[in-house]
Structure 1
Amino acid sequence: MRPLRYSINVTLDGCCHHEAGLPPDAESMQYWADEMAEAGALLFGRVTYEMMESAWRRPATGLWPDWMEEWETTFAENIDRAKKYVVSSTLRTVDWNAELVHGDLGDTVRRLKQEPGGRLWVGGVTLPLALADLGLIDEYEFVVQPILAGHGPTLLAGLRERIELELVDRREFRSGATVVRYRPTQASVTR
């Protein structure tokens, strides 16, 4: 079974708005580029899908925009070519190497986890909350930014039950951001 990893940038006070943390640098973008390269498929809600597509879809010209730094192109290329599944009740069609997910979310994600291929990856805020409530997230990966935002959406706000986690990996960036990866403990898995 392929695991589902939830990855997101988060400030020390739990804010997960994409502009609340540190601006990307070469080290963090290489980390996210590697994440995209290792993912067998990406799972997005509508908001995250549209945000990522607007920023990282290769333009029709085939040339990356002038604003993009050279160290951002590997991430852009990896996310651009990745297989994507989009969960939305409002979108009728998707493209950008994406497939619209229909039906019961839990059944669909369980089916995707049974398919061959690399790890599934989910980002965003709303969809991961639903997946966490269903007990479908196998790994939680947080890039903790050394910032107190003081506002904005918080990580997994409204989670129905507490999920106990155990640390499985940790990495520090020169910027002071720290990547921490956890798995639900056996007690959380069997609840």
Structure 2
Amino acid sequence: MLRYSINVTLDGCCDHNVFPSGAAGQAHLEEMHVHHAATMERADALLFGRVVYEMMEEAWRRPASGEWPEWMDERAIGFAETIDAKPKHVVSTTLGAVDWNAELVRGDLAPAVRALKDQHDEVMTGGLTLPLALAELGLIDSYELVVMPVVAGHGPRLFDGLAQQLDLTLVDRKELSSGAVALTYHPAATAD
């Protein structure tokens, strides 16, 4: 199974810097760390494009000292430890090598991702560019959209450029205390 998970605003923005403001934003951020760590824990492996891989590595890789930065609370550390430990597969034509418990995915995307799905019970992906390509190929089995109570009014939007309509069936809904709602969808043809 390939599961896609992403935070999104009410107007479809997926900029990782857009969160509710003030105290509500801090509560939301803390809750997202807990939620996404639990979601990621279920996955056997992670699948990233280059941009997301580099962004996640910079933010969440355990420092060489072994000590997490002072800014991290226990929720952020829990998320960091979860992502740090997971095997990662990186789709990139520009990176020559990766580390951080990762390997490059080379060749044609569709057969390479099918092979990963055969190799693992559950693979999790995030970001915008790679998931758009995966959706176009019909390779995503589950879509988790964590809808934040914010209208951004700008920024990158979910599935911009999708060639054909994607019909989905709601299979789960979880309201979070921060006001966000985690919605899980499966492709309509395979929803059970």
Superposition TM-score tier, normalisation by shorter sequence: over 0.9
Corresponding pairs, count:
185
2:124 aligned with 1:121: yes
Structure 1 residue 159 displacement after superposition: 0.5
Separation of aligned partners in 1, 2:75 and 2:82: 12
Structure 1 residue 187 displacement after superposition: 7.9
SS in 2 for 1:132: helix
- Please point out which of 139, 142, 156 is paired with 1:139: 142
2:41 aligned with 1:47: no
SS in 2 for 1:180: strand
1:152 maps to what in 2? 155
Structure 1 residue 87 displacement after superposition: 0.5
2:190 aligned with 1:174: no
2:166 aligned with 1:163: yes
2:105 maps to what in 1? 101
Which segments of 5 or more consecutive residues in structure 2 lack a partner in the other structure? none
TM-score by length of 2: 0.93
Matched letter for residue 122 of structure 1: T
1:58 maps to what in 2? 62
| Conserved? CA contact 1:42–1:122, under 8 Å | yes
Matched letter for residue 97 of structure 2: T
Identity of aligned residues (%): 57
SS in 1 for 2:4: strand
Separation of aligned partners in 1, 2:107 and 2:82: 28
Computed over aligned residues only, the root mean square deviation of the Cα atoms, in angstroms, reads 1.3
Structure 1 runs of 4+ with >2 Å offset: 21-28
Which segments of 5 or more consecutive residues in structure 1 lack a partner in the other structure? none
Separation of aligned partners in 2, 1:132 and 1:141: 13
TM-score by length of 1: 0.93
1:31 maps to what in 2? 35
1:77 maps to what in 2? 81
2:4 aligned with 1:6: yes
